[in-house]
A and B are shown apart, each in its own frame.
Chain A
Amino acid sequence: MLTGTRTSDASRLSQHLPGFTVHNIKLDKGNEGKNGHGIAVLVAPSCSDYVRVLKTSESVQCIWLQCDKKMFGLEEDVIVGAAYINPQIRDIFPVRAVQAHFTDLFEDTLGAFQVSPNVVLCGDFNAHVGKLSGVSDAHICVQQCEQGRSVVS
């Protein structure tokens, strides 16, 4: 996954990666070449038959791909979201804009969960989480998994 590609031209992104499939968002002409614009996901030739675009959210700069369950050996497909959220900059990208983008991203994520329970969301969120744990009651499954790992080790 590449963020800040600054181009919509797929051939430029894959010129040194023959056989790779490029999924990218189309930029407005005014945003071509500008910092913080453009996102692409490159899929290796061995996987390209198993990956397809589910959704492209240009307002949030996010590409959602659906990977066939065979790739991960799971019972259901895997949804991969590749996102870029602009950094908070006063007057250019204020807190309200950050909140609006995360709201859109949240809705897209919920949409992804409607397709499959297996979701990966990755990218440059310009999010500094510090020591925030991000654990809530909703993470009981993950906590159980973590406990299982420590028992094994």
Chain B
Amino acid sequence: MPAPVVGLRAAVREALRTKAGLFGFGMVGFLLALVIVVPVLAPYDVISSWGESERWSDNPYSAAPDWLDAFSATKAARTKIVEWNLLQGPTRDRVDRFTYSESNTTELFKIIQLRARWTFAYDGFPQEIRLQTLYWSTEQPVIAIEWTRPDDENVTIYQASPQRLGPNVETLSLSSMTQPFNVLSAVRQWAVGVGADPVPIEKVRPHIALFAEKGPGMMDPSRAKVLKGYYSMTITVFNAEPSDKMQARFTSFGTVFGIAGTDHLRRDLFIGLLWGAPVALAFGVAAAVITVMAQVILGALGAFYGGRTDEIIQRGTDFLIILPVLPILILIGQLYQISIVWTLLIVVMFNILGGTTKVIRTIALQVKEESYVETARSYGASRLRILFRYIMPRTMPYTFALLALSVPGFIFLEASLSFIGLGDPVLPTWGALMGDASRNGALYNGLWWWIAFPALGIVFTTIAFALLGYAFDKVLNPRLREE
């Protein structure tokens, strides 16, 4: 029979010799690296803004990962931003600028013109187009927005004197119904004029029509084809006061974004995924360590002191084993919005005694009967000393494998809670991402990455710890070793 492995270092070394141990350590190592790197790369203020929509407003919503179209013949649209001096919002390097010019300046008025020109070379249409303007004026100027296409078509999509002007950002979404009808009707009128089949006003999609090749299907998303080439947009302010200022930002949203896409609130899923790792790990490891240690100590204490203490611990263990944690967590989560720290506390409370307590108690009872313990007691060693120096080391092998194997269970508990939507309301955990995805029709709309990536994250972490625990199990349970 092979000799039992003693000591943590020896156990680790032995575990590394097995394939499972190697993989397990490797995977856990990777996760640990993530935990360290992520707070540096994506600092916490990114996360605290997980709940703020402002931070993410320049991303498309429910976008696919941008490397996906490497697998298909068509290239999907990417986000393009052109701005002039718009101070709000994050500054990006790849943002182009409008050209600004003023003309016909007299004492009483002037003409401001902002002009942008860019190439659109994608096979797919943008998700939507949006214009944000910031204008200071006391009078009511006339603003005209003109759209020029590669086929030299010029569309005046907007020409009016907007009512409320002041130092507020006006967002003109040029894609949706909630915007002034005159944009939609201007686009429709022009499109029909160049041969498009007519479409009811509420079905007009400027982000399709304005980019589509002329033809009968140009207003129909299923038939329209993209016209590639140079596009330009000109914003002209007539009757501007000499002191007026204008800023603008035009965004053409792509349909893909980033390494992992975005969710329904435009949040970068990659950041969510990255942050899922440290959160899951922190929760799982903290819960595992605290509960296993508590169970081991209490089990040993019960065995050692015997009598009433033992009885109480035993009854308590039986009770806590039977009590179901998840339903109660769900109940509490629904009624009170609990943060992940509270979830941790409740989970720990329910697991402070458990199956391990019984096993450790059995081991401790055996050790207690052995002669070297009697010897120690005979020379006056205190009970505590015996507990730590003799009983605990004997429980170490079992404990370590158990630690590794407990982590996944806790990660899943938290993920289950978050999936239902009752987890931490602020943090982007993997379970929360999956829950969001499932509730927002990820499966039905083919946005598989939204639900699959966090799921993969959970699976990866789980397997990492399972392999680790399995390797330790093999090492420390001599009968399972390969000899």
A binds B: no
Report A's interface with B, CB cutoff 8 A. none
